[in-house]
Chain A
Amino acid sequence: MDWTAVEPEVSVALTDSPEGSLVRIARVQTSAEDSGRLRELGVYEGAEVTVLTQGDPVVLSIAGTRFAICRRCACLVAAALAC
Chain B
Amino acid sequence: MSTITTARPSTHLNEQTLREMFWVMLLSRRLDERSWALHRQGKIAFHISGMGHEAAQVGSAFALNRGVDYTHPYYRDLALSLAMGLTPTDFMLSLFGKAGEPSSGARQMPSHFGSKRLNIVSGSAPVATQVPQAAGLAFAIKYKQTTGLVDPNDATQPRVALTSLGEGATSQGEWHEGMNWAGVHKLPFICLVQNNIYAISVPIESQMAVANVADRATAYGVTGVVVDGNDLLAVYDVMVEAVERAYAGEGATLVEAKTYRPVPHSSDDDDRSYRSRAEVEEWKQKDPINRFRDYLIAETILSPAQLDDYEHRARAEVDQAQAAAEATPDPAPEAALGDIYAPSEAV
Chains A and B bind each other: no
Which A residues form the contact surface with B (CB < 8 A)? none
Task: List B residues at the A interface (Cβ < 8 Å).
Answer: none
